[in-house]
Amino acid sequence: MTNQYSLSGPDSNEPTELARVEGTLGTPAVDVRGLNQKAGVFTYDPAFTATCSCESDITFIDGANGQLLYRGYPIDQLAEKASHLEVSYLLINGELPSQDQMDTFRESITHHTMLNTSLMKFFDSFHYDAHPMAMMTGIVGSLAAFYHDTTNIHDPEHREIFAHRMIAKIPTIAAAAYKHSVGQPIMSPNNELGYTANLLRMMFAVPAETYEVDSIASKALEVLFMLHADHEQNASTSTVRMAGSTGANPYAALSTGIAALWGPAHGGANEAVLNMLNEIGDSSQVSKYVEKAKDKNDPFKLMGFGHRVYKNFDPRALVIREYCHQVLDHYNTHGHRLFDLARELEKVALEDDYFVERKLYPNVDFYSGIIYEALGIPANMFTPMFAIARTVGWCAHWMEMMNDPGTRIARPRQIYTGYTKRDYVDIGHR
C-alpha cells in the first residue's frame, strides 16, 4: 500500500507528493498541509464532509458498521455498566478510574456544583419565556468573569479545574434556567445526591415540599448522558475547538458549543422530534409525513433521521430504543402512544427507497425525547439535557487540543466568488 498520493497542480507538470496519514482505526487521510505552497491550489470541502481537522484519541466512530467507542470502550458496554461520572473521567483522562480515582473525582465534581450568588442574579434578568438554551449560552459565556483562577489556558491544573467545574455546574445552570422559565425559586444543589439525582431535584423540587428522587428516572438520565457524552468532531465540538484555537478562555469556547448544539440539525433535533411526532398525531398520518420529507419542494425533514457519519445505524439509537421499553412500562401511556408512532414512522421510512438509497436511519435523538417526556421533562429542556451530557466531550476535546503542541488557530480558506477589483463610485453617482 502506498504511503503517498500525488496531485498535479495548475502551475506545474510535476506531481506533488502528499503523505498518507493513518490513525489506529478508521479511514486514512491525505495530508494536504503545504499543498498551496507546493501546487498552488487549496482543497475545497464545504461542510467538511471529507476533512479531518485534527488527530484525537478520545472517540472513534465507524459509521459504516454502527460502532462508537469512547477511548476504545464500546458505547453499549459503557451504557450498561458504567455511570455518567465514570464515563466523564474516562473521556477527560483517557482511562477508566480506579476506585480511589473515582472517589476523588466524584468529590471534586460534587463540591463544584454551586454557582456564585452574583451569577444567580443573572437569571432574573432574562425574559420570563426565554428558552433555557439561550440562558445557558449566556451564563456559561459569562463564567470567565467569575472564575479567573481557571483562565490560564497554558496551566494544566487550571484546565483540569475548569473541566471539573463545568461538569459540576452545568446541571445547576440548566436547572436554574428551567426554574426561571416556570417562575419557581431556584433550588440549590444537594451534595448528598448523585449527579443525575441532583439534577432532577434541582429541576422538580420546590422549597415548600419534600422531594423524593425517582431512581428509574435518575438511571434513565445516566444512560442518556453517557450516550450523548461525546461524538468526536461533531458540529458543536468542532465549534468549541475552533473558538478555543484562538486562545479564548475555555468558558467562552464552551458557550459557542452550546450555541451550535441548539440548531435543529444537531442537538435541537430531540425537541424537534417530539414536536414532529405530536404534529403527525397518529399512524394514519405517517405516510403523508414520509412523502413530505421526500418532497424537495417541502422544507420538512424527518427529524431524528439521518446522520453525517452513520450510514448503517446509530448504535446509540439502538440502546435508547431498547431503554424506551423499560422507561415507558414504568411511566405513562401517552409516552407509549408516541413510541408506537415513532416505531411506525421508523418502519415506513426504513422500507422506503428514498431513505434506503440515502442510508438514512434513526439517530440518537429519534427516541431520546420520548424518554425525556416520560420522565416529565418539558420539550424545551431536551436540548439542555444534551448540553449537560456533551459538556464532558467539549471539555475533553478542549483539553486535548490545548495539550497538543501542534495546535494553531483554526482558519479555513475560501473560493472567492464576488466582484473582481472595481473603483469606488461617489454616492451621488450610483
The residues annotated with a catalytic role in the active site are 266, 307, 365
Instruction: Tell me the C-alpha distance between 61 and 313, whole Å.
Output: 11
Nearer to ligand ACO, 203 or 364 (CB): 364
Window 313-352: contact mask with ligand ACO (x via CB under 6 A): ----------------------------------------
Instruction: Tell me the C-alpha distance between 375 and 389, whole Å.
Output: 17
Q: Is 358 helix (H, G, I), strand (E, B) or coil?
A: coil
365 binds ligand ACO (CB under 6 A): yes
Q: 132-141 vs 382-403: helix axis angle to the nearest 10?
A: 30
Instruction: Tell me the C-alpha distance between 89 and 205, whole Å.
Output: 28
What's the closest the beta carbon of residue 305 comes to ligand ACO, in angstroms? Answer: 4
List the interface residues with ligand ACO, window 208-247 (CB under 6 A).
none
By CB under 6 A, name the one of 306, 369, 384, 393 that touches ligand ACO: 306
Strand order in the sheet with 16-21: 4-7, 16-21, 29-30
- Spell out the alpha helix ranges (H) of 30-131: 35-39, 75-81, 84-93, 99-110, 117-125
By CB under 6 A, name the one of 360, 374, 387, 402 that touches ligand ACO: 360
302 binds ligand ACO (CB under 6 A): yes
288 binds ligand ACO (CB under 6 A): no
Q: Is 4 helix (H, G, I), strand (E, B) or coil?
A: strand
Stretch that binds ligand ACO, among 31-39, 56-64, 149-157, 264-272 (CB under 6 A): 264-272
What's the Rg (C-alpha) of the chain? 23
Q: Any idea what the Cα angle at residue 107 is, between residues 59 and 117, rounded to 5°?
A: 100
Instruction: Give, rounded to a whole angstrom, the gap between the first and last alpha carbons of the chain.
Output: 61
What's the closest the beta carbon of residue 272 comes to ligand ACO, in angstroms? Answer: 7
What's the closest the beta carbon of residue 416 comes to ligand ACO, in angstroms? Answer: 24
Window 29-68: contact mask with ligand ACO (x via CB under 6 A): ----------------------------------------
What's the closest the beta carbon of residue 359 comes to ligand ACO, in angstroms? Answer: 8
Side-chain-facing half-sphere of 85: CA atoms under 13 Å: 22
By CB under 6 A, name the one of 156, 265, 351, 356 that touches ligand ACO: 265
User: Which residues of this protein are in contact with ligand ACO, per CB under 6 A?
Assistant: 265-267, 269, 293, 301-308, 358, 360, 363-365
